[in-house]
Amino acid sequence: MKLLVINGPNLNMLGIREPGVYGAQTYDQLVEYIHGVCAREGVAVECFQSNHEGAIVDRIQNAYGREDGIVINPAAYTHTSVAILDALKAVHLPAVEVHLSDVRKREDFRQISYAGMACEKTVIGLGFQGYEEAILYLKARLER
């Protein structure tokens, strides 16, 4: 079983970026955390981060036939990108949407999620632990 974890724009700035909202830990620490969870669970994983919508669409398309499930935090593209929604629908792999912050309690423009429309589950406001929940969900889902 192999999972793909995608992080969108500005998540490479974790630790520097609005620590009151996103926490003090860096993107490298997030990748380390994800690898730790996946090693413990016996799941192979690849982490991908990009600030570019098209690069994220390309990586989702490349997951077809290569990975078994997708964990995605599309960051700001969550609220704008029909292209990412369509890519997730195109590859029809089980996907889980993750947000570090509790977007429900934030601005109106964060209340819509296009990517979420193609995801089986959404985990929000749990910080790094949200990625663990998503990984555990996909593992159980794929073992079924």
Size of the site for ligand DQA (CB under 6 A): 10
Which of the ranges 51-59, 63-71, 74-82, 133-141 carries the binding residues for ligand DQA, by CB under 6 A? 74-82
Q: What does the alpha-carbon distance between residue 38 and residue 42 come to, in Å, rounded to a whole number?
A: 6
Q: What does the alpha-carbon distance between residue 89 and residue 62 come to, in Å, rounded to a whole number?
A: 13
x/- letters, 75..114, toward ligand DQA (CB under 6 A): xx-x--------------------xxx-x------x----
Which of the ranges 32-40, 41-49, 58-66, 68-76 carries the binding residues for ligand DQA, by CB under 6 A? 68-76
Residues 6-25 that bind ligand DQA (CB under 6 A): 10
Q: What does the alpha-carbon distance between residue 48 and residue 81 come to, in Å, rounded to a whole number?
A: 18
**Residues 41 and 66: beta-carbon distance below 8 Å:** no
- Phi and psi at residue 16, to the nearest 5°: -100, -40
Chain residues that interact with ligand DQA, rule: CB under 6 A = 10, 73, 75-76, 78, 99-101, 103, 110
